[in-house]
Amino acid sequence: MMKAIKGLIFDLDGTLADTLADIADAVNAGLEAFGLPRRSNEDVRAWIGEGMPLLCQRAIAGREDIPLDEMIAVVREHYRVNRLNKVKLYPGVPELLDELVRRNVLLAILTNKPHEHTEAMCAVLFARWPLVAVEGYRQEAFRKPDPRVALRLVEKMGLTPGQVMLVGDSSTDMHTAKNAGLTAVGATWGYRARRELIDAGAKHLIDRADELLALL
Catalytic choice (11, 18, 169, 173): 11
| Residues paired with 109 in a beta bridge | 10, 134
CB neighbourhood size of 40 (10 A): 9
Residues 6+ apart with CB under 8 A from 78: 25, 26, 29, 30
CB atoms near residue 156 (< 10 Å): 14
Of 12, 3, 4, 1, residue with least CA distance to 122: 12
Q: Is 98 a catalytic residue?
A: no
Catalytic residues: 11
